[in-house]
């Protein structure tokens, strides 16, 4: 069983431009982290979701998920410069004062019986993100949007790895 599972979505969802047959590139871009939680009454009507909730409660992974998300979100926000995403629905709730961290009931977060953090950086139809993805992976830095940047892949992976390393380096095992 893994000690930690960081679910990394390649890119955050698109910003809806309202035209689904002709997607448009947009300026919006953001970052957020999801840890398990915020189960609605309707979701708890399902036996499997009640079971998953109990497993998460009994394995007491919430505090570690939150602590890890705190460190990784700081690293990722510093590396990307992205603003936090804010949910405007009841499907997710803030868990503390960190604007990047939300609790949400995602199947992806319930699949593993260990601490889970779902990382959602970058909006896939953002102009700058699109250009950086098209550039592929590269060493060093290149100019995008008037700034010298690492490849988007290295920026992402380095920030997550740095956060995990910092968290577990401080922790007495």
Q: Each residue of 66-105: pLDDT tens digit?
A: 999 999 999 999 999 999 999 988 888 899 999 999 998 8
Q: How far apart are CA 149 and CA 151, in angstroms?
A: 6
Q: How far apart are CA 54 and CA 46, in angstroms?
A: 13
| Chain centroid offset of residue 84 CA | 10
Tokens of 128: 């700058």
SS3 58: helix
Longest dimension (CA), the chain: 53
Q: What is the pLDDT of residue 132?
A: 97
E strand or H helix that includes residue 56? helix 47-59
Q: Contact 148/103 with Cβ under 8 angstroms? A: no
Handedness of CA 91, 33, 21, 17 (dihedral sign): positive
Q: Contact 61/116 with Cβ under 8 angstroms? A: yes
pTM of the entire predicted model? 0.82
What is the spatial order of strands in the sheet that 5-8 belongs to? 5-8, 116-121, 31-36, 101-104, 92-94
Domains of the chain plus CATH, in order, are 5-14+24-170 (3.40.630)
Strand partners, 120: 32
pLDDT band at 16 (very low <50, low <70, confident <90, very high): low
DSSP letter (8 states) at residue 144:
E
pLDDT in tens, 117-126: 999 999 989 9
pLDDT band at 8 (very low <50, low <70, confident <90, very high): very low
């Amino acid at each position: 069983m893994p000690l930690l599972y960081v679910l990394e979505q390649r890119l955050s969802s698109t910003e809806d431009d309202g035209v689904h047959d002709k997607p448009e590139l947009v300026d919006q871009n953001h970052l957020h982290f999801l840890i398990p939680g915020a189960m609605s009454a309707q979701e708890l009507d399902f036996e499997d979701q009640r079971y998953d909730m109990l497993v998460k409660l009994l394995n007491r992974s919430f505090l570690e998920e939150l602590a890890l998300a705190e460190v990784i979100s700081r690293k990722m926000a510093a590396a990307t410069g992205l603003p936090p995403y804010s949910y405007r629905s009841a499907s997710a709730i803030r868990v503390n004062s960190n604007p990047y961290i939300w609790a949400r009931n995602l199947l992806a977060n319930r699949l593993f019986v260990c601490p889970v953090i779902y990382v959602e950086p970058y909006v896939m139809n953002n102009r700058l993100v699109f250009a950086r993805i098209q550039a592929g992976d590269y060493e060093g830095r290149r100019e995008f949007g008037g700034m010298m940047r690492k490849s988007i892949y290295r920026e992402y992976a380095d920030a997550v790895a740095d956060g995990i390393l910092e968290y577990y380096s401080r922790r007495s095992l």
